[in-house]
Amino acid sequence: QKEVEQNSGPLSVPEGAIASLNCTYSDRGSQSFFWYRQYSGKSPELIMSIYSNGDKEDGRFTAQLNKASQYVSLLIRDSQPSDSATYLCAVNRPPGENTPLVFGKGTRLSVIA
Partner 1 sequence: GAVVSQHPSWVICKSGTSVKIECRSLDFQATTMFWYRQFPKQSLMLMATSNEGSKATYEQGVEKDKFLINHASLTLSTLTVTSAHPEDSSFYICTPPKDLAGDNEQYFGPGTRLTVT
Residue (67 or 93) nearer to partner 1, CB: 93
How many alpha carbons lie under 13 Å from residue 69 in its C-beta half-sphere? 11
Residues near 100 by beta carbon (within 8 Å), at least 6 away in sequence:
92, 93
Tell me which DSSP letter residue 93 carries.
P
Closer of 25 and 34 to partner 1 (Cβ): 34
As measured in angstroms, the least distance from the Cβ of 78 to partner 1 is 24
* Positions in the binding site for partner 1 (CB under 8 A): 32, 34, 36, 41, 43-46, 49, 88, 90, 93, 97-106
AA identity, residue 110: S
Instruction: Report in angstroms how near the CB of residue 82 gets to partner 1 at its nearest.
Output: 20
Least distance from partner 1 to the Cβ atom of residue 84, Å: 16
CB of 17 to partner 1, least distance (A): 26
- Write the CB contacts of 108 (distance below 8 Å, at least 6 apart in sequence): 8, 9, 10, 11, 85, 86, 87
Give the residue with the Cβ less far from partner 1, 73 or 87.
87
